[in-house]
């Protein structure tokens, strides 16, 4: 009689080992696929947020206008039409503030950009010439921002980390503002730089407010 021969214990253990190896490899491949998908999704969302923030900043910068203001200290010297401070932030007046409800306000808006607690903040005021109790509204454009820098460029190609420049003749044609550079460090993209050309601004006065200007 022919005896039926089954698997030996060693053969069963080898089969289990092969299945275990296949399971580990499959699990690792699945985990890597899920991680890569999450990373791509996060990076795509980050890129979309960055693009949206750049569009907002570009809209404001390209509408800069020569409209100095009086700040909360009632000082025209501290409220030039465009200010770049030591912290790399910027503040300026812009036209094109839409008023669909026909509210009693100007169509020129005062805005500012700076980084606070790792967030890129857009601040804007509801008035131009500010009173001591005039508080801005805030809009968070981007999070996880490590550094922000705005640079003014004149028609001669000179770059300035401060604006206006102390002692500079604002009526000198070779020192007129020609462009704004923004450099922002955004993980995981690194340093993102944008350059905007500023339209020719009419400057009727070297300092102070233009004749007839109001809030």
What is 59-197's CATH topology? Pili subunits (3.10.610)
pLDDT value for 49:
93
Average model confidence (pLDDT) across the chain? 82
What is the model's pTM? 0.73
Q: What is the DSSP string of 6-53?
A: ---HHHHHHHHHHHHHHHHHHHHHHHHHHHHHHHHHHHHHHHHHHHHH
pLDDT value for 114:
95
State the average pLDDT over residues 129-155. Answer: 91
* Core vs surface per residue 58-75: b (16+ CB within 10 A) or e: eebbebbbbbbbbbeeee
Residues forming a β-bridge with 149: 183
Residue with tokens 């700076």: 114
Give the number of C-alpha atoms closer than 13 A to the C-alpha of residue 64, restricted to the C-beta side: 26
For the ranges 7-21, 51-65, 69-83, 108-122, the lowest mean pLDDT is seen at 69-83
Residues 94 and 107: their CA atoms lie apart, in Å, by: 9
Instruction: Give 210's pLDDT tier (boundaries 50, 70, 90).
Output: very low
Instruction: Give 131's pLDDT tier (boundaries 50, 70, 90).
Output: confident
76 to each of 48, 72, 206, 214, 215, how far by Cα in Å?
A: 39, 10, 12, 13, 13
pLDDT value for 66:
87
State the average pLDDT over residues 187-211. Answer: 69
Domain chopping of the chain, boundaries? 59-197
Residues 155 and 102: their CA atoms lie apart, in Å, by: 38
Instruction: Give 132's pLDDT tier (boundaries 50, 70, 90).
Output: confident
pLDDT over threshold 50, residue 134: yes
State the average pLDDT over residues 110-131. Answer: 92
H or E segment and range at residue 61: helix 9-61
State the average pLDDT over residues 27-53. Answer: 85
pLDDT value for 124:
93
Residue 214 vs residue 162, higher pLDDT: 162
pLDDT value for 144:
92
159-160 sheet: strands from edge to edge: 159-160, 147-154, 177-186, 190-197
Give residue-wise pLDDT tens across range 69-113. Answer: 877 665 544 558 899 988 889 999 999 888 777 777 778 999 999
């Amino acid at each position: 009689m022919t005896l039926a021969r089954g698997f030996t214990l060693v053969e069963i253990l080898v089969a289990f080992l092969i299945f275990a190896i296949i399971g580990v490899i499959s699990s690792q491949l699945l985990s890597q696929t899920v991680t890569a998908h999450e990373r791509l999704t996060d990076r795509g969302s980050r890129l979309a947020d960055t693009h949206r923030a750049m569009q907002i900043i570009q809209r404001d910068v390209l509408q800069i206008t020569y409209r100095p203001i009086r700040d909360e200290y009632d000082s025209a010297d501290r409220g030039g039409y465009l200010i770049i401070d030591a912290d790399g932030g910027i503040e300026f007046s812009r036209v094109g503030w839409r008023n669909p409800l026909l509210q009693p306000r100007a169509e020129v808006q005062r805005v500012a950009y700076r980084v606070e607690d790792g967030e890129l903040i857009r601040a804007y005021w509801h008035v131009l010439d500010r009173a001591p109790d005039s508080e801005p509204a805030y809009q968070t454009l981007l999070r996880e921002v490590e550094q922000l820098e705005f640079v003014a460029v004149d028609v001669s190609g000179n770059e300035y980390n401060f604006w206006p420049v102390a002692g500079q003749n604002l009526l000198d044609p070779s020192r007129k503002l020609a462009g704004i550079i923004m450099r922002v460090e955004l993980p995981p993209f690194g340093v993102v730089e944008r350059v905007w050309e500023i339209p020719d601004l009419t400057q009727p006065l070297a300092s102070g407010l233009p004749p007839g200007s109001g809030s």
